Amino acid sequence: MNDVMLAYGSIILGTLINGFAALLLKRGAKDFKLRALLHNRFVISGFCLYLFSTAFFVSAMKSLPLSIVYPLSSLSYVWVVVLSCFALGEHVGMNKWIGLTIILLGIMLLSNW
């Protein structure tokens, strides 16, 4: 039971890191040039965060079935929308909030079974 709780915790943390990685990539996309990729601090740190978050998912897979961990990674969609609303001040339309609610319902169903 303890391992399972830890796995759920690492999924939540992993998806949150994923959300921040997406924020960094968005910031880096502003002045993105393929040739100057290695000088783009935001894109590089975004990639590093993505890589870092996979470690959380892989460790969660140790004690939870793959068919639960992988769909639960959609929690990062929720973080991305919330972060882009509050950190970037992007307009988030009604369809996005409805979509998020449906995804959250699915996540709740999944984590119970």
- Contact footprint for another protein (CB under 8 A): 51, 54-55, 57-59, 61-62, 65-68, 70-71, 74, 77, 81, 91, 93, 95-96, 98-110, 112-113
Q: Which of 39, 35, 41, 8 is nearest to 112 (CA)?
A: 8
Rank residues 20 and 77 by Cβ distance to another protein and give the closer one: 77
Q: To the nearest 10°, report the CA torsion of 5, 6, 10, 13.
A: 70
- Please, which residues have CB within 8 angstroms of residue 107's CB and are 6 or more apart in sequence? 71, 72, 74, 75
- Could you tell me the smallest distance in angstroms from the CB atom of residue 25 to another protein? 11
- Could you tell me the smallest distance in angstroms from the CB atom of residue 66 to another protein? 4
Rank residues 35 and 65 by Cβ distance to another protein and give the closer one: 65
